C-alpha cells in the first residue's frame, strides 16, 4: 500500500493526529510554503469535551464530529490519509504507517492521549473508557441496556448490579458525567421506566485523592461535592480501584461493589511511537520537548498538545493536557515553522493560563481563571457559550444549541437509542457470575 501523496517543491509537514492541535496546524500553515499531510486513525475530528453528553443521550454523535475532508475541502495543500502511524525513522526523515511510508521535511506529533488503566488488566478488559465517540456510544448503549435488562430482572439481587453505575476519576470528565447521569435519573427514567424503582439506581463517583476537580480551587471542589450529593450522587474519596472481575469493582481495602456499569475517566497516557528515543519519553508516555516544541534530540520532529511535555519551574510535570493549551501550542508552532522555512529566527513558547470550566448540571457550573471564581447560572451560561464556540461547523453549532434549548425547556434527552458498536460488544460477565458476585456485597469504607 502507498499513501499516494503527490510530489511537491514545497516543504512537506506530516501531522500525526487530528485533535485540537493537529487541526489548528493543518488549517493555519501557509499554503505557499508547505504541503501538509494529516494522518489520523479516524476520518473525523471530534470535540472531546462534550463526549459525556453523547454518553448520556443529550446530543447526537454527529454534533461533535466533523469530517477532515470537509474541513480541508478548500485547502488544496492539505492531504488527509486515514491510517495509523507505526514508527518513525528520524535519520531518513520518514514516517511509517499502516498504509505505507512517507518522507517529511518536518514531523509534528499531535497524537493526543488515551485512557490509562495503570496496568490493571481486569479494569481494561471490563471498564468503559471515555476518550472518543466509540467509547461514548458504548457507554450510552451500556447504560440503556442495563435499564432494559433491569426491567426483565426477577428481583432486587439481579437488578442491583444493573442499577449500580460506578465512575472512576473525579476530574472534569468524571464530575460532568455523573452530573448528567443524575439528571437523567431524575428527569428521564421515571417517565421511560415507570415500572422500575429507578430511585434505587446508584450513581457513584470514585476518586483516589481527597477532593474532586483537583485542577480547580479547593472551594470549588467542596461546592461540587455538595452539589453532587444533593443530586443523589455518592462521592467516594480517598479510595482506589484495583481490579474489576466477576462483575465486581474491587477497591484497595478489599471491599467491592457489584456493577455492570464501570466507566473509567481516571488518568491518560500517550501511546508510544517506535523510533522515538525512549530517553525522550517522560511520565505517562509524554514526549519531552524544548521551549520551541522540538522533541529533545531531534531538529525536525515536534510534539504539541497532550503528547508533549515541556518542563518549566512552574510546571515540572508539563503544561495541562487541555484543549486550549493544545490550540495555543499549535498556533505558536505554526509561526515558528513558517519563520524557519523563510530562514528567520524562531521564538520560545510562553504558557498562558486559561479559564477552567466544569458543568455539573442544569444551571450548575464553575468557572475559574487565576483568582477569579464563579458558579451557578452565569458560569453555566459561560460554559455553554465557550463550548459551542469551539465546535466546528455552523450546522453542528446550531444542532447543539437547539438540542440544549429543547433539553432545557422540556427536561428531555431525546437520543436514547441503542446502537451497537464494536466497543459495546466486549465480553461482559454472565448472569450466573453476577449472581455469585452478589452473595456478599461489601461497601468501601471510604
Beta bridge partners of 128: 263
Ranges of residues in the chain whose predicted pLDDT is under 70: 1, 421-446
**Residue 132 and residue 110: Cα distance in Å, rounded?**
16
Beta bridge partners of 35: 12
What is the pTM (predicted TM-score) of this model? 0.90
Distances (CA, A) of 20 to 27, 148, 305, 307: 11, 37, 8, 12
For residue 423, give every residue at least 6 positions away whose Cβ sits within 8 Å of its Cβ, in sequence order, or none: 128, 134, 135, 137, 138
Beta bridge partners of 250: 243, 256
Instruction: Give residue-wise pLDDT tens across range 307-336.
Output: 999 988 888 888 989 999 999 999 999 999
**Residue 40 and residue 390: Cα distance in Å, rounded?**
20
pLDDT at 314: 85
pLDDT at 437: 45
pLDDT at 443: 53
Q: How many CB atoms lie within 10 A of CB 410?
A: 10
For residue 74, give every residue at least 6 positions away whose Cβ sits within 8 Å of its Cβ, in sequence order, or none: none
Q: How many CB atoms lie within 10 A of CB 350?
A: 9
pLDDT at 428: 47
Q: Hey, what's the cell of 396?
A: 453542528
pLDDT at 413: 80
Q: Hey, what's the cell of 303?
A: 510534539
pLDDT at 430: 45
pLDDT at 421: 57
Q: How many CB atoms lie within 10 A of CB 192?
A: 14
User: Is the C-alpha dihedral spanning 423, 240, 165, 360 positive or negative?
Assistant: negative
Domains of the chain (ranges plus CATH)? Answer: 11-41+83-113+270-341 (3.50.50.60), 121-268+355-437 (3.50.50.100)
H or E element at residue 202: strand 202-206
Instruction: Give residue-wise pLDDT tens across range 109-146.
Output: 999 999 999 999 999 999 999 999 999 999 999 999 99
pLDDT at 154: 84
pLDDT above 70 covers a percentage of the chain that reads 94
Torsional class of 424: left (φ above 0), alpha (ψ -120 to 50), beta (otherwise): alpha
Q: Hey, what's the cell of 390?
A: 469551539
Amino acid at each position: 500500500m502507498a499513501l499516494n501523496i503527490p510530489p511537491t517543491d514545497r516543504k512537506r509537514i506530516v501531522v500525526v493526529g487530528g485533535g485540537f492541535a493537529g487541526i489548528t496546524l493543518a488549517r493555519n500553515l501557509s499554503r505557499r510554503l508547505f504541503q501538509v499531510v494529516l494522518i489520523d486513525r479516524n476520518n473525523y475530528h471530534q470535540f472531546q469535551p462534550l463526549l459525556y453528553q453523547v454518553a448520556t443521550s443529550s446530543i447526537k454523535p454527529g454534533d461533535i464530529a466533523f469530517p477532515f475532508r470537509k474541513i480541508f475541502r478548500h485547502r488544496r495543500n492539505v492531504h488527509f490519509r486515514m491510517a495509523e502511524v507505526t514508527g518513525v525513522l528520524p535519520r531518513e526523515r520518514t514516517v511509517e504507517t499502516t498504509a505505507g511510508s512517507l518522507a517529511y521535511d518536518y514531523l509534528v506529533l499531535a497524537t493526543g492521549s488515551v485512557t490509562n488503566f495503570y496496568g490493571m488488566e481486569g479494569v481494561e478488559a471490563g471498564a468503559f473508557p471515555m476518550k472518543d465517540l466509540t467509547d461514548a456510544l458504548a457507554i450510552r448503549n451500556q447504560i440503556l441496556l442495563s435499564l432494559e435488562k433491569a426491567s426483565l430482572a426477577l428481583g432486587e439481587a439481579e437488578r442491583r448490579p444493573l442499577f449500580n453505575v460506578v465512575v472512576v476519576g473525579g476530574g472534569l470528565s468524571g464530575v460532568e458525567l455523573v452530573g448528567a447521569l443524575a439528571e437523567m435519573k431524575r428527569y428521564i427514567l421515571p417517565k421511560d421506566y415507570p415500572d422500575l424503582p429507578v430511585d434505587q439506581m446508584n450513581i457513584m463517583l470514585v476518586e483516589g485523592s481527597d477532593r474532586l476537580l483537583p485542577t480547580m480551587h479547593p472551594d470549588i471542589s467542596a461546592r461540587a461535592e455538595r452539589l453532587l450529593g444533593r443530586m443523589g450522587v455518592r462521592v467516594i474519596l480517598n479510595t482506589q480501584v484495583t481490579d474489576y472481575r466477576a462483575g465486581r469493582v474491587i477497591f484497595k481495602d478489599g471491599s467491592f461493589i457489584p456493577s455492570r456499569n464501570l466507566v473509567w475517566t481516571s488518568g491518560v497516557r500517550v501511546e508510544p511511537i517506535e523510533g522515538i528515543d525512549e530517553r525522550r519519553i517522560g511520565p505517562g508516555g509524554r514526549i519531552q520537548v524544548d521551549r520551541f516544541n522540538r522533541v529533545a534530540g531531534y531538529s525536525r520532529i515536534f510534539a504539541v498538545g497532550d503528547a508533549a511535555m515541556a518542563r518549566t519551574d512552574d510546571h515540572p510535570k508539563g503544561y495541562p493536557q487541555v484543549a486550549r493549551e493544545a490550540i495555543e501550542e499549535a498556533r505558536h508552532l505554526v509561526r515558528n515553522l513558517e519563520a524557519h522555512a523563510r530562514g528567520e529566527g524562531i521564538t520560545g513558547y510562553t504558557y498562558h493560563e486559561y479559564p477552567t470550566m466544569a458543568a455539573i448540571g442544569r444551571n450548575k457550573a464553575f468557572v475559574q481563571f487565576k483568582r477569579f471564581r464563579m458558579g451557578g447560572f452565569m458560569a453555566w451560561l459561560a460554559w455553554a457559550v465557550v463550548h459551542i464556540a469551539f465546535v466546528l461547523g455552523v450546522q453542528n453549532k446550531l444542532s447543539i444549541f437547539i438540542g440544549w434549548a429543547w433539553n432545557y425547556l422540556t427536561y428531555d434527552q431525546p437520543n436514547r437509542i441503542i446502537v451497537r458498536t464494536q466497543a459495546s460488544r466486549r465480553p461482559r460477565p454472565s448472569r450466573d457470575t453476577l449472581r455469585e458476585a452478589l452473595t456478599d456485597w461489601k461497601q468501601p469504607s471510604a
